[in-house]
Amino acid sequence: MAKKKVTPMMEQYLAVKKQYPDAFLFYRLGDFYEMFYDDAIKGSQLLELTLTQRNKNSLEPIPMCGVPHHAAKNYIDILVDKGYKVAICEQMEDPKLAKGMVKREVVQLVTPGTIMDEGASQAKSNNYLTALHEQAGQLGFAYVDLSTGELKSTVVNNLASLQNEILSLHTKEIVVDQSLSAQTKELLAKLKILSSHQDDYQAQAEFSFISQDLHEASEIEAVMHLLMYLKVTQKRALAHLQKAVHYEPANYLKLDHYAKRNLELLVNSRTNKKSGTLLWLLDATKTAMGGRLLKQWLERPLLNQAEIEARLELVAILKDNFFERSSLQESLSKVYDLERLAGRVAFGNVNGRDLLQLKTSLMEVPQIRYVLEQLAGKQFADLLAKLDPLEEVVDLIDRAIVDEPPISVTDGNLIKAGYDPKLDEYQDAMKNGKLWLAQLEASERELTGIHNLKIGFNRVFGYYIEVTKANLAKLPKDRYQRKQTLTNAERFITPELKEKEDLILGAESKAYELEYQLFVAVRDQIKDQIKRLQSLAQALAKLDVLQSFAVVSEDAHLVRPTFTSDKSLVIKDGFHPVVEKVVGRQSYVPNDIIMSPTKQILLVTGPNMSGKSTYMRQLALTVIMAQIGCFVPASQAALPIFDQIFTRIGAADDLISGESTFMVEMKEANEALQNASENSLLLFDEIGRGTATYDGMALAQAIIEYVHDKVKAKTVFSTHYHELTDLEQTLAHLENIHVGAVEKDGQLVFLHKVEAGPADKSYGIHVAKLAGMPSELLTRADKILTKLEAHKQDQVSPAAKPEELIKEEGQLSLFAEETPVEPKAKPVSKQADKVLKELGQLNLMALTPMEVMNAVYKWQQELE
Ligand code: ADP
Ligand code: MG
């Protein structure tokens, strides 16, 4: 289309568009941003805009749609949120003054990874742009949050770790170059993350400064490409970017993506929301910065005991000092998002209100310092050192910015009186012009002795001094310049009057102009202090998270954990903190989890709904809470420090779609078996459930044995295969526990109490009975059970059993055909036939009570 004859403007448009083929081009035309051609067609659909045409009457009209410039932000956000990029092309000169074509330039490329200030809902989340560079078999990886300036990097060893890093950062965009291998590209494609190409970079002082603490070539390259991409897309100062900090994923508790999901650390897997997660429980932060840091801590629990204890110590002090803590909370709640404010100061997009937010935030610092000094100076010394009140900045803003500034920075009313003498004069002139002329009139009268001398104004030559002809003689010759002669008076001007006139008439526009300049100067002075601001912000964020832990520790009656080095684990009266919060403390049954140094595996049995999964999750959450430096849900807790947590939570609890659940289950189990160390925690919840009963059981047993002999990690394994409990006899480091339930008045009552030994009875048939299954069926099930139990008595080695039982399975599947349904008087309808068939084929052992209920409900519906 570029070949066709187009207007000079469309020529300009096409030239710009050519540079941004993968972005929507918002092309400024007066008060609108316009999109043309394909951008317009696609954009009008995505944004629900009316599609119109330019050059309607020509042979080939150009599709077009537009958004008003003042509402553009909304539309840009929508597109970027959907994963697109938007190039903003502005008019670089005033169209009225332009000779020929108005100059236009792209001033910013907004992308999913670089979008800033996303509004209140996103305040407690980071938005990370990542970058990847592959070199000599190494994967250099870097990430930046453009709004806060945080920049970190590392080298990852394999694609699995890369996937982990990418997923845990929730990045929406990754900067890549031609160095990536096919497998890496494939992974990125699978993860559906927007890849943005930045193939080269120009070395520059700023970049070298930012990357100066890094050593690995691939890592430095990743940072360089990342910085270049920012430079190219943002086209402005990046003064707030912090020096790149190298991090080692291996220095943190490793929790893969599956585990984080399973344990519902940050998102509730049913609702995809925060409610009902560990984050939700722990978040009593008062600032957005604290909220973001809490998430970061949850993503990366610590391994270093000294660091953990240091956090715990501060939490303990804050927990024990209610009044000081309340005072800190009150102060923190008045602190705005300093990190992002600092970023916007650097970017140059702050207004007067932002600076006031900065001021009120900084003004809380002395009070916070005071409280911490009162509390216990020594433990808080590190934090105190960083809690810099930046008095000069407070003072500067206080002197310069009015108390209620407008949103705009170019329309005046921004700078305080007394800050700048020239501005004061302008403002004086505007406000007091009349009064001031009256004063001049009075002083002129006094000076000349002419009592009826007056000052007036006309459009032709502005302000003048009018003297009646009778008094002309009294007027001194020097200063007065005649301008106009009337019949009985003459009008004069003086240099002083003209100067004042200039002031009065030009005051407004001059004042606005000067105010803007003064504002920019203030902003630039603050910009010089960005590093201090960022350091302060980090300290406040940390303090906020610690006070949040203290609050939650008190409200949720948590206890300070201690750490063991002999692989022993003691949790007394432990509970799942989220479930407890939801069901209430009264209804929750606390449980102990105890593993001596040599006990590796707890095998948990018990009926469905008895609390097995909850018990296992409780352990994982306790470990994570301890290793982020928070108190833990128990009356007493002594834990080893774990290096990794792997989870495999039962197929029935899963919402994973696409891949067969059994495949997912095996992949997760494999991940754990291959990577776990002796210091890891494994949670295997009803493994093997996703397949036919006996091959599932065989696999489950083999996995337990493998963990027991090879992996040696601390493991909790829940199962509905009652037969596995016999393993206790052969595996020295395995112990049976069970969650009890009793039958009471024909009701199955869950006690949720974990006790020693295996569960002694299968409750499946009781549940089926409670669900209202026909009695013939239940009798039959009882018979089969007895048969299986009898068979079990014959077995000596539990290992031999599954194979034997596979034969038995033949009988089980005959169940359908053989179900002794007594022939009724009436012939069975087709529908009833179908229901009976399904009923016969139902694999009771593999279902939850709820699933049974649902099946029965469906049958009832069908029979009606
Ligand atoms: P299972 O895995 O044995 O089927 P779950 O762990 O899913 O059982 O627990 C079923 C329900 O029982 C949970 O939704 C929870 O509300 C409740 N529950 C579990 N453990 C306890 C407990 N210790 N105290 C009170 N309620 C519990
Ligand atoms: Mg369960």
The predicted model gives 711-732 an average pLDDT of 91
Give distance in angstroms: CA of 468 to centre of ligand 1: 102
CB 740 within 8 A of CB 755: yes
Strands 150-156 and 138-145: antiparallel
Q: Residue 769 pLDDT more than 50?
A: yes
* Atom number, ligand 1, closest to the C-alpha of residue 754: 23
Question: How high is the pLDDT of residue 792?
Answer: 59
Q: Residue 671 pLDDT more than 90?
A: no
607 labelled binding-site residue:
yes
Strands 591-595 and 569-574: antiparallel
Using only the alpha carbons of the chain, give its radius of gyration. Answer: 37
Q: Residue 566 pLDDT more than 50?
A: yes
* Sequence-ordered alpha helix ranges (H) in 556-608: 577-583
Give distance in angstroms: CA of 612 to centre of ligand 1: 7
Higher pLDDT, 218 or 497: 218
* Atom number, ligand 1, closest to the C-alpha of residue 650: 2
Across the strands, what pairs with 754? 739
* Atom number, ligand 1, closest to the C-alpha of residue 591: 23
611 labelled binding-site residue:
yes
Question: How high is the pLDDT of residue 67?
Answer: 94
Give distance in angstroms: CA of 611 to centre of ligand 1: 3
663 labelled binding-site residue:
no
d(CA 713, CA 732): 14
Question: How high is the pLDDT of residue 377?
Answer: 64
Q: Residue 818 pLDDT more than 80?
A: no
Which residue has a Cα nearest atom 10 of ligand 1? Answer: 609
Which of 216-235 are b and which e, b meaning 16 or more Cβ less than 10 Å from the residue's Cβ? eebbbbbbbbbbbbbbebbe
Which residue has a Cα nearest atom 23 of ligand 1? Answer: 589
d(CA 696, CA 809): 13
* Atom number, ligand 1, closest to the C-alpha of residue 617: 6
d(CA 65, CA 48): 10
Question: How high is the pLDDT of residue 813?
Answer: 32
Q: Which ligand is nearest to the CA of 685?
A: 2
Which of 233-242, 704-713, 765-774 has the least mean pLDDT? 765-774
Which residue has a Cα nearest atom 19 of ligand 1? Answer: 611
* Atom number, ligand 1, closest to the C-alpha of residue 590: 23
Q: CB neighbours of 594 closer than 8 A, spacing ≥ 6?
A: 569, 570, 571
Q: Which ligand is nearest to the CA of 576?
A: 1
Among candidate residues 531, 179, 51, 126, the one with its CA nearest the CA of residue 297: 126
Rounded to a whole number of angstroms, the distance between the first and last alpha carbons of the chain is: 66
The burial class, CB within 10 Å (0-12 / 13-18 / 19+), for 114 is buried
Question: How high is the pLDDT of residue 801?
Answer: 40
* Atom number, ligand 1, closest to the C-alpha of residue 750: 12
Give distance in angstroms: CA of 849 to centre of ligand 1: 13
CB 362 within 8 A of CB 396: no
Q: Which ligand is nearest to the CA of 573?
A: 1
- One-letter-per-residue 3-state SS of 697-711: HHHHHHHHHHHHHHH
Which of 675-706 are b and which e, b meaning 16 or more Cβ less than 10 Å from the residue's Cβ? ebeeebbbbbbbbbbbbebbebbbbbbebbbe
Question: How high is the pLDDT of residue 821?
Answer: 42
Structure confidence at residue 721 as a pLDDT band (50, 70, 90): confident
Give distance in angstroms: CA of 273 to centre of ligand 1: 21
DSSP letter at 272 equals S
Mind listing the pLDDT tens digit for each residue in 610-636? Answer: 899 999 999 999 999 999 999 999 999
Q: Report the run of H or E that residue 484 belongs to, with start and end.
A: strand 481-485
Among candidate residues 344, 134, 116, the one with its CA nearest the CA of residue 233: 116
Give distance in angstroms: CA of 740 to centre of ligand 1: 11
Displacement of CA 377 from its chain's centroid (Å): 33
Kindly report the average pLDDT of the chain as a whole number: 87
Higher pLDDT, 450 or 58: 450
Higher pLDDT, 429 or 747: 429
DSSP 810-849: HHHHHHHHH--PPPPSSPPPHHHHHHHHHHHH--GGG--H
Tokens for 267? 């998102």
Q: Which of 578, 579, 587 to mutate to test the pocket of ligand 1 (most atoms within 8 A of CB)?
A: 579
d(CA 760, CA 38): 69
Give distance in angstroms: CA of 602 to centre of ligand 2: 15
* Atom number, ligand 1, closest to the C-alpha of residue 616: 6
Ligand 1 binding residues, C-beta < 6 A: 579, 583, 587-589, 591, 606, 608-614, 752
d(CA 686, CA 654): 12
CB 71 within 8 A of CB 64: no
Which residue has a Cα nearest atom 5 of ligand 1? Answer: 611
Q: Which of 262, 269, 589, 609 to mutate to test the pocket of ligand 1 (most atoms within 8 A of CB)?
A: 609
* Atom number, ligand 1, closest to the C-alpha of residue 607: 3
Give distance in angstroms: CA of 139 to centre of ligand 2: 38
Q: What length does the chain have?
A: 864
Specify which of 328-332, 374-378, 718-722, 849-853 reaches the highest per-range mean pLDDT. Answer: 328-332
CB half-sphere exposure, 118, CA atoms < 13 A? 25
Q: Which ligand is nearest to the CA of 583?
A: 1
Q: Which ligand is nearest to the CA of 686?
A: 2
- One-letter-per-residue 3-state SS of 92-130: CCCCCCCCCCCCEEEEEEECCCCCCCCCHHHCCCCCEEE
d(CA 649, CA 684): 6
The predicted model gives 573-587 an average pLDDT of 94
Question: With pLDDT > 90 as the criterion, what percentage of the chain qualifies?
Answer: 56
Q: Which of 264, 589, 614 to mutate to test the pocket of ligand 1 (most atoms within 8 A of CB)?
A: 614
d(CA 317, CA 325): 9
Mind listing the pLDDT tens digit for each residue in 771-787? Answer: 778 888 888 888 887 78
The burial class, CB within 10 Å (0-12 / 13-18 / 19+), for 328 is buried
d(CA 362, CA 43): 43
Question: How high is the pLDDT of residue 693?
Answer: 64
Q: Is 564 helix (H, G, I), strand (E, B) or coil?
A: strand
Q: Residue 461 pLDDT more than 90?
A: no
**Residues with Cβ–ion distance below 5 A, ligand 2:** 613
Which of 35-39, 210-214, 754-758, 860-864 has the least mean pLDDT? 860-864
Strands 601-605 and 254-255: unpaired
Which residue has a Cα nearest atom 25 of ligand 1? Answer: 588
Give distance in angstroms: CA of 764 to centre of ligand 2: 14
Question: How high is the pLDDT of residue 650?
Answer: 53
CB half-sphere exposure, 455, CA atoms < 13 A? 23
Q: Residue 84 pLDDT more than 50?
A: yes
Which residue has a Cα nearest atom 20 of ligand 1? Answer: 611
pTM of the model: 0.80
Structure confidence at residue 116 as a pLDDT band (50, 70, 90): confident
Tokens for 535? 């350091």
Q: Residue 224 pLDDT more than 90?
A: yes
Question: How high is the pLDDT of residue 829?
Answer: 74
Question: With pLDDT > 70 as the criterion, what percentage of the chain qualifies?
Answer: 91
Token pair 């430096």 is found at 629
Give distance in angstroms: CA of 338 to centre of ligand 2: 44
The predicted model gives 428-453 an average pLDDT of 85
Among candidate residues 435, 448, 434, the one with its CA nearest the CA of residue 477: 448
DSSP 277-311: SHHHHH---SSHHHHHHHHHHHHS-B--HHHHHHH
612 labelled binding-site residue:
yes
Give distance in angstroms: CA of 585 to centre of ligand 1: 14
Tokens for 801? 């059993």
Kindly state the greatest CA–CA separation across the chain: 139
Q: What angle do CA 529, 533, 535 make, to 5 degrees?
A: 120
Q: Residue 548 pLDDT more than 90?
A: yes
Strands 104-110 and 128-135: unpaired
CB half-sphere exposure, 13, CA atoms < 13 A? 22
Q: Report the run of H or E that residue 851 belongs to, with start and end.
A: helix 849-863
CB half-sphere exposure, 657, CA atoms < 13 A? 2
Q: Which ligand is nearest to the CA of 611?
A: 1
Q: Residue 292 pLDDT more than 90?
A: yes
Which residue has a Cα nearest atom 18 of ligand 1? Answer: 611
